[in-house]
Amino acid sequence: MGGSFFISEKILIDKINDFCNSINELSNEFNFVLVIGGGRTARNYQEAAKEMGANNFELDSIGIACTRLNAMLFFNKINNINPIVLTNIRDAKEVLSKEKIPIFGGLSEGQTTDAVASLVAEYLNFDFINLSNVDGIFDADPNVDENAVLFKELSFNDMNFLLKEKLLVPGQHLFVDAQAASILSRSKIKSFFLNGNHLENFKNCLRGYDYKGTIVSDISDVIQKEQIDEEKFSRVEVDEENEGFIEDDYSQDEDDEEIDPRKIDFGKGY
C-alpha cells in the first residue's frame, strides 16, 4: 500500500480502520502479507534532512524508518497481525505458519516498497496487489489528464513498455517502479493494480467477482505497438473485446524497441 493512501496532511485514521476491517474480514479466506509505503511522512522527513545536508543514502535510510513507523499504525486494528515489522523476507513464511499476517516497510537503501512487495510475492509464490489512489494502470496520469484510459488487462511486456514511456517523460505518474516490474516480469507474478479507496472493489477482486482495476498476467500483448505512430505515442484504448484501438496524440520516443527493465536507472526509493 502506498503511504499516500492513508497519510495526507495528517494520518487518515478512518481510512486505516476501514482497511484493517476489510483485512480482518478477508483473512478467513486469504493469506496476506502487507507492505506499507512512506507517503507524506517520509517526504516531510526527507525534505527536512536534505536541507540539513543529508545525502541520498541517508535520505533513503530515513524513508525506510518512516515506512516501518507507518506499518506500526496497523498493529492495533488487524486481529492476527504479527506485532513486529519484519526486516527479512524469509521470516514471512514462519509468521504465516503461525496464522499471523506479516507486515513490512522498506528493507534497504535504493529500493522502493514496490520492490519489497514484489520480492515477497516472488518468494512466497503469492499474487501481487498494489493499492494506490488511482484505479489501475492508465496510458497517462489520471490525476492530470481527465481523458486518461484505464487498461483492464495487460501482459508483462505491455507493463514494461508503458513504464518505459513514462520514465521518458519527467513528472509522469509511475504505477510501479522499474525494479518491481522486473521482478514481477521475471517470475510471471499475477499482479493487480487497484484503488485502495474502494474497499468493496478490492474484496470483489480477491473473490473473483467483477472489479475495476488492471490485471497484469502472462497473456499475449494487448497493446499492439506496431500500430503506434513512430513520432507520437498514441493513447491506446482497448475495448471490452480487446479488439479495437482508439488513437490519440501522446509524445513518444521514436524507438519503441523492447527494453530490459532491469537495465533502467530507476533511481532511489523507499
Residue 154, classed as helix, strand or coil, is strand
Q: What is the mean predicted confidence (pLDDT) over 46-73?
A: 96
Helix (H) or strand (E) holding 64: helix 56-71
Predicted confidence (pLDDT) at residue 6 exceeds the cutoff of 80: yes
pLDDT recorded at residue 226: 56
Least confident of 98-112, 113-127, 136-150, 241-255: 241-255
Comparison of pLDDT for 221 and 231, the residue scoring more: 221
As a whole number, mean pLDDT of residues 150-175 equals: 79
Cβ atoms of residues 193 and 213 within 8 Å:
yes
Between CA 117 and CA 129 the distance in angstroms is 9
- What pLDDT is attached to residue 263? 45
Q: How confident is the model at residue 189 (pLDDT cuts 50, 70, 90)?
A: very high
| Residue 243 clears pLDDT 50, i.e. is over it | no
Stretch among 100-104, 211-215, 238-242 having the lowest mean pLDDT? 238-242
pLDDT of residue 22: 97
Tell me which residue has cell 534497504: 108
State the pLDDT at residue 252: 32
Q: Which amino acid would we find at residue 205?
A: C
pLDDT at 111: 92
Integer CA distances (angstroms), 158 to 155, 201, 247, 259, in order: 5, 24, 16, 11
Q: Looking at the domain covering 1-15+30-108, what would its CATH class be? A: alpha beta
Residue-level pLDDT at 257: 42
Q: What is the pLDDT of residue 258?
A: 43
Sign of the dihedral defined by the CA atoms of residues 232, 163, 216, 182, in that order: positive
**Is this structure's pTM higher than 0.75?**
yes
Strand partners, 155: 217
Q: Give Cβ neighbours of residue 41 (< 8 Å, ≥ 6 apart).
A: 3, 7, 66, 69, 70
Domain spans in the chain, listed from the N-terminal domain onward: 1-15+30-108, 127-270
